[in-house]
Every structure is written in structure tokens, then in C-alpha cells.
Chains A and B, each alone.
Chain A
Amino acid sequence: AQSVTQLGSHVSVSEGALVLLRCNYSSSVPPYLFWYVQYPNQGLQLLLKYTSAATLVKGINGFEAEFKKSETSFHLTKPSAHMSDAAEYFCAVSSTGFQKLVFGTGTRLLVSP
């Protein structure tokens, strides 16, 4: 069975500061890993994905994540937070490209001026 753990239900940063959202996964097979973002009153939007190619994955809006097999982690980072980054972020895992996504509990990012 697969699972995802997101540490911290809320993360607060100042505008311009580093964003670090943590995700650890458990999977018995090589995983596909994803980060999704949900802005208020919108659906989930794919930020980036890892599908066994490069371990450092770059996504939209300046976000990136690094797959570390030894640590079973896929943490999301952004060098400089912007007010528009305030949203809820979800890490997810899948065993293939077409099967269900298993999500973490989400992390709400708060950005202060």
C-alpha cells in the first residue's frame, strides 16, 4: 500500500523568504510523485511531477522538488515566496501513470508581507 505524510498542516513565511513544504512517502514499487496546489474556490492544479526521470523536478511558478529515494522524501521548495503563493498544497503518490492518486493531508501556506 502507498501512503504520503505531509509534516505541518500550516506553514507561515514572509514574502521573499524560502518556502519548504515537506512530504514523505511510502511505496512498495517505484513511485510517481506529485505536488498539487489548490487556490481558494478552485480545483487542484498540478505543480510538478516525478516520473523516474531527473530527481530534481522543476514545476510552475518557480517551485521545484527533489526526489530522494534514501530518505523517501519529495519536499517542495521555492527560493522566494510571493503573496500569490498562499494556497493549500498537496503531495500525492501513484504506482503508475493511470491509477488513483494517494494524497497527503495537505499543507496550507500563509505568506505575510
Chain B
Amino acid sequence: EAGVTQFPSHSVIEKGQTVTLRCDPISGHDNLYWYRRVMGKEIKFLLHFVKESKQDESGMPNNRFLAERTGGTYSTLKVQPAELEDSGVYFCASSQDSSSEPIFSYNEQFFGPGTRLTVL
């Protein structure tokens, strides 16, 4: 079974340009998460989809970031216009459906390899 995949693996753009990152979760996983790690700092949560709906977008830094999840399958994260401080590694993770699980259980988040974004 394929794991979480992310495209591209690396992206180098200039300040002011637009970049779109893509994440394909594990098939059948309803939960999809985006995280970001800025150089030398902690991995920070950006947002959480349940199917096509945004469950929690409290970590989105500003309105230059737009995340979508078409039909509850793959997700895109667009940065427009990109700024220098957006550089970092963007991780995507997915986990199984939570609706049928008791609240105290845990569904493992499976992570993709990340997209390294460099804004010059």
C-alpha cells in the first residue's frame, strides 16, 4: 500500500511568486493534516481536513495561504504571494476515519516525506 506522497519534493521560487504544494493521503484516510517546519524550529500545525471540510485551520499563518481538498481525496496548499519567511519544509499527514472510533482511541498520523520550499 502506498504511503502519503507529496509533490514536489523541492521548490525554489522568488519572493512574490505563487507555489502550490500537493499531498496525496493514504487511500481511505479521511483525516488530512498539513504541518510546516521552519529551519531550526519545531514542526507546527497548519490545518486539519476531515474529508473535504476544514476541521481546524487555527495554524494557518495568514491569508496568503490557501488549502483545499477536492472531493476529500488529495489536498493542495497554495502560497500566494510567497514571502521569505515561508521557506521551510511542509509536511502532510493522514489518518483513518475517526467517526466510528471512541474518543479515547488514537488513529496514527502517517507522514509524507515533505516538500522543501525555498523562497529567494
Chain A residues packing against B (C-beta within 8 Å): 4, 32, 36, 41-46, 49, 51-52, 90, 92, 96-106
Contacts of B106 in A (CB 8 A): 32, 49, 51, 97
Rounded to whole Å, the gap between the CB of B25 and the closest CB of chain A is 12
Rounded to whole Å, the gap between the CB of A27 and the closest CB of chain B is 15
Would you call the interface of chain B mostly helix, strand, loop, or mixed? loop
Kindly state whether residue B74 has any CB partner on chain A within 8 Å.
no
- Besides the known contacts A36-B111, A44-B93, A51-B105, 9 further A-B residue pairs in the complex with CB atoms under 8 A apart: A43-B91, A46-B108, A51-B106, A97-B104, A97-B105, A100-B45, A100-B48, A100-B56, A104-B42
A32 to B56, CA, bound (A): 18
Chain B residues packing against A (C-beta within 8 Å): 3-4, 31, 33, 35, 40-45, 48, 56, 59, 91, 93, 95, 98, 101, 103-114
User: B113 to A43, Cβ gap below 8 A?
Assistant: yes
User: A41 to B43, Cβ gap below 8 A?
Assistant: no
With known contacts A45-B111, A96-B103, A101–B98 Cβ distance under 8 A: no
A3 to B109, CA, bound (A): 19
A45 to B111, CA, bound (A): 7
Contacts of A106 in B (CB 8 A): 42-43
Q: Which A-chain residue is minimally distant from B58 (CB atoms)?
A: A100
With known contacts A97-B105, A100-B59, A103-B42, A43–B3 Cβ distance under 8 A: yes
Contacts of A92 in B (CB 8 A): 43
User: A43 to B111, Cβ gap below 8 A?
Assistant: yes
Contacts of A45 in B (CB 8 A): 111
User: B109 to A42, Cβ gap below 8 A?
Assistant: no
With known contacts A43-B4, A43-B112, A98–B98 Cβ distance under 8 A: yes
A61 to B107, CA, bound (A): 21
User: B56 to A105, Cβ gap below 8 A?
Assistant: no
Rounded to whole Å, the gap between the CB of B94 and the closest CB of chain A is 11
A43 to B5, CA, bound (A): 9
5 residue pairs A–B, Cβ–Cβ below 8 Å: A46-B109, A92-B43, A99-B56, A100-B33, A101-B35
